[in-house]
Every structure is written in C-alpha cells, then in structure tokens.
Amino acid sequence: MKPLQSKLARYTAPQEAKAKGIYPYFTPISSEQNTEVLVGDKRVLMFGSNSYLGLTNHPKIKEAAKAAIDKYGTGCAGSPFLNGTLDIHIELQDALADFLGKDGVMLFSAGFQANSGTIPCVLGRNDYLIYDELDHASIMEGKLITYATTLKYKHCNMEDLERVLQKCPVEASKLVVTDGVFSMEGDVAPIDKLVELCDKYQATLMVDEAHGLGVFGREGRGTCDHYDRLPNVEMIMGTFSKSLASVGGFIAADKETINYMKHSVRPYIFTASIPPSATASVLAALHIMRTEPERNRSLWDNTNYAMKAFKDLGFEIGHTKSPIIPLFVRNAEKTFVLTHMLFEEGVFVTPVIPPAVPSEDTLIRFALMATHTHQQIDFAVEKIFKCFKQLEIL
C-alpha cells in the first residue's frame, strides 16, 4: 500500500461505530422529505430536516420543476459564465434582489460554494476577514483559502468583536462574516449591534441567512429584516436547500460587488449552473413563502410548543431562538447511541459532534417544520425524554 492510502486506511472511526451498531450517517430514505419518512420498511417521524416551511413535497413546486425539465431539459451543460445562463436564472436573480432590496444577486450551484467562493474572491493580502468562532463550515473553508489576515471573535460577543476591529488599520478593507441563525445551536446573531460596529469601523458586513430565510423577518426575509437592518447589511448569503425546497445558493449585494464577483469567483465561473428544475422550484417556493404567511406562523407555533415541552422536562437547550432546538448530551458516544435508540423508537434526529461543535457540546439537533403536528411533537418529546432518562443524561 502506498503512503497516502496507508495514511487514509488508519481512519477507522466509522467502522468502529458500525461495529457497535450506532453509526448514524448516510441513512437511505425512500420517500419524500416530509414530517414522516420511510427508511427501508420503517416509518419514522422526521425531526432532522432543514425544510422549515415543509415545502419539499408541495404540489405546485413539483409541477414547476417538471415543467422546467420539459422546457429546458435536465441540466445546463456549462457554467453561468459561458453557456449556462438561462432566462429562468435571470428571473430568479431579479426576484431575490427585489425580495431582499439589493441591486443584484448571483446564483451558486451550492450554498457552500457561495460562502467558500465569495470570501477569498473579495479579500486580498492586505485585507481582513473577521468571523464568529461558530460560523458555518463553508465560511471556515473560505477562511482557509483566503490570502487576507483572519481574525476570530468570541461567539456573538460584540465587545470582543470591537476589540478585534480596533486591531485593523482604519483604511484597510475589512469583511465581518456571521451566520444569522447558527445551524447547530439555533441562536441568532445580534444583527443590529453588528451593523453598528461595522459602520463605526468601516467594515463590510456579510450575513449567512441559510437558516434565517423563511423563518425570520417579513415574509421570511431573514434575521437582518427581523432586526430591521436589511438595508444596512452589504452582503446577504442564502441557500435554497432549507425553506426554499431545492438546492443551490446565492449572494445578494450592491451592483458593483456583484459585477466584480461574477467575473472573479472561481467556483462560480468553473461550476455548472444550478439545474433548471431546481431554479423553477425556488421560484415557486419563494412565491408560496411570500403569499402563505400561515406557514411561518405554524412553524413558530410548533417551535414555541416544542421549546416549552423540552424546558418543562428539564432538557438543556442552550440559547436557541429558532426552530433549531439543541438537546445537549455532552458525550460523543452517547450522542450516537441516542440517535440509534430514537430511530428504533420511531424518531429521526441528527447527532452533532466535533468538528461541528466543541467536544464538550455534543448534542442532538431537533428541528421543526411548519407541517409538524402537535401530536407528532408530543410523541417525539416523549420518546426523547425516555431515551435521555435511560442513558442517565437527565
């Protein structure tokens, strides 16, 4: 065996978890992403999804996807830069720009690319990237490949952010990047205070709204709108794989920034465009999100109902203010065991272990959809309480 293969072969953590019967990943689901899914011949309640508005199986969205395939085919066979821009892409860009009140939008084939491609593109050797220590992995990926000086501030700690900003030269280009909703813990960045500090120190603010769109703000415009600061945030990143029921991502910004990025972001220039079916799905989902506010109300009703149930039973749920409810376990192996036990009890949840969170903060991620019923939530909470007690976590 060659040295590289020999090194990789020493990674045996998945095999060890499989041998214990607690391996939780790559579970093959054979049904639509709904509040109940089919795994093999077993039906389980889905509380591990990011489909916050429950739109992935909406008939109008499926119809739009099918019609797009009939008109455009299944793919674009090229990047947006060359032959891969369709009129439906322009329609979606314009719709998102109007929705967020920005000059322009550029679409990415994956949300991860939007962050990891944008950060190293807009920053150079004499610039500064300033990021929250719990930012998403896609932001961290951009940090790894940027030539800029990278500075970290403590999670949602504005005093520490100001300390970091004071280190940077006044005339230097500075980009502060934060999640709007932090995807594992469910807490929300203080956008109003971030805007204030960025204005004070002449830093550009970029907010990742992957888990905020559809959840917060008017018609689901996100956390920046929730804090009434949407016009003051220069760059908005979002994804289509959560509330918007598809796949892909985008950056919304002023026309000069978008113009530069469209001609400079390597993952954008060298990756095939988002498929027409996915594009049509997002357009349909965006329309539903804006015209059916009852979905957002139902999501928050379910969120508040579940939060109260967990708090009343003594669960540790951190500082979440969103439909993402972290149930802290603080032990990686027990987190895997819990996931397996709950699946056997008919509840699908996701384990969160390092590097997604620090080793002392392992947790079960419980996520709500607008389409869950209180009866389903009650069933899940009962089973989770039972399993936590059996493992002596509560």
Q: How many helices (H) and strands (E) does the chain have?
A: 15, 13
What does the radius of gyration of the chain's CA atoms come to, in whole angstroms?
21
Annotated active-site residue 183? The verdict is yes
Q: What is the DSSP letter of 35?
A: S
Annotated active-site residue 226? The verdict is no
Phi, psi values for residue 253, rounded to 5°: -165, -170
Angle CA 331–320–348, to nearest 5: 55
Round to whole Å and give the CA distance between 137 and 115: 9
Burial (Cβ within 10 Å: 0-12, 13-18, ≥19) of residue 282: buried
Annotated active-site residue 298? The verdict is no
Q: Parallel, antiparallel, or unpaired for β 104-108 and 249-253?
A: antiparallel
Residue 231: asked if its preceding bond is cis (omega within 30°), the reply is no
| Choice among 51, 109, 183, 243 that is catalytic | 183
Single-letter code of the amino acid located at 356 = A
Q: Taking phi first (over 0 means left), then psi (-120 to 50 degrees means alpha), and beta for anything else, what does residue 247 get?
A: beta
Single-letter code of the amino acid located at 77 = A
| Choice among 89, 136, 211, 372 that is catalytic | 211
Could you identify the residue written with the tokens 């889905």?
A: 46
Nearest to 191 by CA among 232, 221, 163, 247: 232
| Choice among 226, 242, 334, 372 that is catalytic | 242
On whether the CB atoms of residues 320 and 326 are closer than 8 A, the answer is yes
Burial (Cβ within 10 Å: 0-12, 13-18, ≥19) of residue 29: middle
Residues designated catalytic:
183, 211, 242
